[in-house]
Amino acid sequence: MVNEKILVRDKHASLKKVLIFLIIIVVIGIVISVVFYAGYFMEKPKNIVVIENPLKGIVFANTNVAGEVNKEKVVEEAIIEFNAEYINYLLAAMGVNNLHSMIGYGNPIIEFSIDQDTWTTEVDDGALITTKATTDNKDLRIILSKEEAVNALLSSDIENFMKQSVTNGNTQIEMVAGKVELAAKGYLGMYQQITGDEIEVE
């Protein structure tokens, strides 16, 4: 009788172990599935570039007590003080967040031809590195005047202003790199946002 009781206890203990083992396997499977699907369906984070409008100080200095802005004076001063921050702000408004580095191609590089000056911007992991220089490694070249750039910065909707500027011929955008490279670096969305046209990748 004693032996029989011991055997019954052993049967229940092994059954409990099997059930616990199965429950652990099922829980692990569910956790792995949830993590996998969450990772699969989650959108990859974009490089978010947030920059304050560089004309803010000039506008404030040329606003009277009634709140009226002397736009001519603002444009005049802004053209004189034109610097890399103006270009960075323009790029942020034009969708530079879409750009990213790509193995085999490197970082996105945009050249600006503004009046007699040439500026180069490299997008490095979300940071905009803009210098007054030219480069042979550019992907895009954007050609416009300082006055047009300043007017874009003063507009209430820079994206729409730049679209109109391209349509009117006041701003030209030249694709320098191949279409495959431009697509790999994320230029498709940015180019379409500015021009309204798509880059057809063959």
For the chain, which residues make up each domain, given as ranges? 1-42, 56-195
How many Cα atoms occupy the beta-carbon half-sphere of 41 within 13 Å? 6
The Cβ-side half-sphere exposure at 144, using a 13 Å CA radius, reads 26
Burial 143-154 (b: 16+ CB within 10 A, else e): ebebbbbbbbbb
Dig out the tokens for 42 from the structure. Answer: 């989650």
Class of domain 56-195: alpha beta
CA distance 30 to 25: 9
Helix (H, G, I), strand (E, B) or coil at 192: helix
DSSP-based three-state secondary structure for 136: coil
Residue 13: pLDDT band by 50, 70, 90 thresholds? low
Pairing of strands 172-175, 140-144: antiparallel
Helix ranges restricted to H, the chain = 2-41, 56-61, 71-80, 84-93, 146-154, 158-168, 179-184, 187-195
pTM passes above 0.85: no
Q: pLDDT for 125-171, tens place per residue?
A: 878 999 999 999 999 999 999 999 999 999 999 989 999 999 999 99
The string of pLDDT tens digits covering residues 96-105 is 888 888 888 8
pLDDT digits over 27-74, tens only?
888 877 776 555 544 444 444 555 789 999 999 999 988 888 899 999
